[in-house]
Amino acid sequence: MKSSQRSSIDPFIVMDIMERAQALEQSGRSIVHMEVGQPGTSAPKVAKEFLKASMRDNPMGYTVALGLPNLRKKIAELYGDWYGLDIDWNRIIITSGSSAGFILAFTALFDQADTVGLGNPGYPSYRQIMKTLNLKPLLINTTEKNKFQPTPSELSKHIINGLLIASPGNPTGCMIEKDSLNQLVDYCNHKKISLISDEIYHGIQYEMKPSSVLEFSDSCYVINSFSKYFSMTGWRIGWMVVPEEHVRVVERIQQNMFICASHASQIVALGAFESKDELEKNLEIYKENRARLLRVMPEMGFNNIAPPDGAFYLYIDISKFSSDSYDFAKRMLDIGGVAITPGIDFDPINGKSMIRISYARSTPEILNGIERIKTFMDEKKYI
Ligand SMILES: Cc1ncc(COP(=O)(O)O)c(C=O)c1O
């Protein structure tokens, strides 16, 4: 049977690596997981208790398409706590993870063949989802000096209908400064470029606090998720904040495409708001892992690493050792027993000389990974 042209997209390489790592584990090998960006911790305990209690007499039918009002109100409160913003809860829409949020946002904002700018390097699925929707992703050059984020001067070289940014970003963890973000938002509003801000890593930050685009404008889409700070990847639950006049637009698409996000996961998400202490403890683990890696990776010869401001990744230059990050990652997995992600997932232009490692697992696991990477490098197994 024929498949569509728009379905011919690249695989999400990190998921392929995770699958290969799991197959090796099933054959009896021990693998340290530093590939996928998912916390080693489960959903908070209180959150799971919420679900247990509610399952007794809640039939868990469909919720309204926009999501449980109580959950939307809790998220609105979060904007008060995190940024001092008063966001109308009616502008918040619950989604099946931020991944569904992208489909909703791109469908609501763009028409076929519209061009959407993306900072390069960036999260790979942005460009693949755009291709499946017949949109044109345009990779915008970024530099370490600009925290791997697009700037108005770089944007002015292109004609784009939309721009998607992420701060902290994946794979670098780098964060755009408040003033630069303000300038970017102003530029997009002035040029009538639809701005989407992926704020999925907010809450996981080290030396400075991230700003939300909502601090500068209501004319933009924000996408967020319970996957990272709230440690709930597999529950597939996230949210969007959209301008008031777009709520009905997104609601219609959600009703038809997804009906609603998982009812059970919405209940767990509600419980996650009662779990601040547990979530803050997770942050301590990331902090410790980050500090240790930043100390030891240069000792192994990985000198070119921009210290991440947030998220739980290091994006590392391996050009001294290899010009093929896929081969390097494959060897690291097969020989070294550590799963990492090749840079080509995030950057089709320069990613052959980069790898990303995730430090979202427990500190003992990360220490074990460090030891294995050391042995792999000492024995020059990358050749
Ligand atoms: C920047 C970024 N956005 C979105 C996602 C997808 O997250 P979700 O689990 O909410 O679909 C990820 C996952 O790693 C990510 O890194």
- What confidence category does residue 14 fall into, taking pLDDT thresholds of 50, 70 and 90? confident
Tell me the three state secondary structure of residue 50.
helix
Average per-residue pLDDT for the chain: 96
Specify the pLDDT at position 16.
86
- Pick the atom of ligand 1 nearest to 237's CA: 10
pLDDT tens per residue across span 108-150: 999 999 999 999 999 999 999 999 999 999 999 999 999 999 9
One-character DSSP codes across 92-103: EEEESHHHHHHH
- What confidence category does residue 306 fall into, taking pLDDT thresholds of 50, 70 and 90? confident
The whole-model pTM stands at: 0.96
- Which of 35, 98, 357 for mutating ligand 1's site (highest number of atoms within 8 Å of CB)? 98
Q: How far is CA 358 from the centre of its chain?
A: 12
Distances (CA, A) of 308 to 207, 209, 271, 290: 9, 12, 29, 8
Kindly report the protein residue whose alpha carbon is nearest to atom 14 of ligand 1. 37
Contact 224 CB / ligand 1 (< 6 Å): no
Q: Which amino acid is at 298?
A: P
- Pick the atom of ligand 1 nearest to 169's CA: 1
Task: Select the more confidently predicted residue: 383 or 297.
Answer: 297
pLDDT tens per residue across span 264-281: 999 999 999 999 999 999
In this predicted structure, the answer to whether residue 254 has a pLDDT above a threshold of 90 is yes
User: How many CB atoms are located within 10 Å of the residue 52 CB?
Assistant: 11
In this predicted structure, the answer to whether residue 27 has a pLDDT above a threshold of 90 is yes
Specify the pLDDT at position 12.
87
Positive or negative, the CA dihedral 20, 139, 241, 114 is negative
